[in-house]
Amino acid sequence: MTRPLLKFCGNRSYGDWCYVVDSMADVLGVIFAPSKRNVTKEQVKAWLETKPLPPTKRLAGIFVNESLETIKETCEEIPLQIIQCHGIETPADLKEIKKATGLVVWKAIHHDDTSLEYMRTFQSIADGYVVDTKSPKAWGGTGQSFDWASIPNYLKEAEIQGVPCFIAGGVKVENIKELLEFNPIGIDLASGIEVNEQKNKDLIQRIENEVDYYVNNNIS
Quick one: pLDDT at residue 76?
Answer: 97
pLDDT (tens, 9 = 90+) of the chain, 220 residues, equals: 899 999 999 999 999 999 999 999 999 999 999 888 999 999 999 999 999 999 999 999 999 999 999 999 999 999 999 999 999 999 999 999 999 999 999 999 999 999 999 999 999 999 999 999 865 454 444 556 778 999 999 999 999 999 999 999 999 999 999 999 999 999 999 999 999 999 999 999 999 999 999 999 986 5
Domain 5-201 is in which class? alpha beta
Using alpha carbons, list the distances in angstroms from residue 165 to 22, 169, 196. 24, 13, 29
CA–CA dist 69, 56 (Å, integer):
29
- Strand partners for 21: none
* 104 three-state secondary structure: strand
Q: Check residue 135 and give its pLDDT.
A: 53
Q: Which pLDDT value is given to residue 140? A: 46
- The radius of gyration of the chain from alpha carbons, rounded to an integer in Å, stands at 16
**Residue 142: predicted pLDDT:** 54
Coil/strand/helix, residue 106: strand
Q: How many residues does the chain have?
A: 220
Q: CA–CA separation, 178 vs 205, rounded Å?
A: 18
CA–CA dist 48, 54 (Å, integer): 10
* pLDDT score for 147: 86
Are 111 and 142 spatial neighbours (Cβ–Cβ below 8 Å)?
no
What is the amino acid identity at position 30?
V
